[in-house]
Amino acid sequence: MSKIKPSKGAPYARIMGVGGYRPVRVVPNEVILETIDSSDEWIRSRSGIATRHWASPEETVAAMSVEAAGKAIADAGITPGQIGAVIVSTVSHFKQTPAIATEIADRIGAGRPAAFDISAACAGFVYGLTLAKGMIVEGSAEHVLVIGVERLSDLTDLADRATAFLFGDGAGAVVVGPSKEPEIGPTVWGSEGDKSDTIRQTVPWDDFHAGSQEKFPAITQEGQAVFRWAVFEMAKVAQQALDAAGITPQDLDVFIPHQANMRIIDSMVKTLKLPDSVTVARDVETTGNTSAASIPLAMERILATGQAKSGDTALVIGFGAGLVYAATVVTLP
């Protein structure tokens, strides 16, 4: 018989607060058109994007995260000292080590929490949310700060007609804490590594370091392949998350998919047969694709604008490079 005492965590976990930060600079499509042969109409019809935010040198990954985290902590009604762990999902923090989560934890005054980064691209926020839920139920932390943050403008090739218009910068954060009721459902997640080249970094860091590649690494993708995968496969994953939570599309109040592309969002809504009463996050129009930051930023906006309210039931799904995906059903804070 094991001599290890059982964990004494909370029975369930919930999202207690949400916060977001968008860089000050707003970049319209006209700026993108200075470097690619396209049109505003083409960009809007293909992606639904009209503007995106690009960070200044001062709006670093850490600085944006601190701003979003402060809002989420205040919204949750706790103090930074109550944060027991900080999880940061990002692909655009350029230091291999240390994790940016440790700097963020220090800057928000969180004391000595567990702090680490994860790399799961556009699914990273839901990955982090799932880890936070497990930590709270297991008992290793009472409150966990989950941040999705990106400076994708640093990894954008402005001459690449397929991707130059897609990406934006920003940070979104949530505080996850204990709950007496199940307010974060089971996560349906996975990967399809045989499709890893579909979305990729153009040049490995070691090749760039060795001088064999002069062009700075950027993100590129096979647009049509990504679109087909997202529309057909991710709708199945979203339905599986609904099934795992024991609800139907008619039970939903809100749908918050990764803000990759308006056409993908609209196609998923149609495939899932969501009723008109469901509020659909379409933050991509003015924020662009912010990868790991897109879901919490979209969540923050629909709550701030009154499109959704505290207590609403929301389906969230992230999907991206890897290819990786994760979906779950949550109660909005």
Q: Has 143 been annotated as catalytic?
A: no
Q: Which two tokens stand for residue 287?
A: 């924020």
Four-CA torsion 277, 282, 285, 287, nearest 10 degrees: 150
Q: Which two tokens stand for residue 118?
A: 């994860």
Burial letters 217-253, b for 16+ CB under 10 A, else e: bbbbbebeebbebbbeebbebbbebbeebeeebeebb
Question: Of 53, 122, 143, 261, which is the active-site residue?
Answer: 122
Residue 302 and residue 311: Cα distance in Å, rounded? 13
Q: Has 122 been annotated as catalytic?
A: yes
Question: Of 53, 93, 261, 289, which is the active-site residue?
Answer: 289
Question: Of 29, 53, 258, 261, which is the active-site residue?
Answer: 258
Count of CA atoms in the C-beta half-sphere (13 A) of 182: 9
Q: Has 29 been annotated as catalytic?
A: no
Residues 6+ apart with CB under 8 A from 143: 16, 76, 78, 82, 83, 84, 136, 175, 176, 177
Do β-strands 114-118 and 85-89 pair in parallel, antiparallel, or remain unpaired?
parallel
Sign of CA dihedral 186, 191, 192, 197: positive
Residues 6+ apart with CB under 8 A from 266: none
The set of catalytic residues is 122, 258, 289
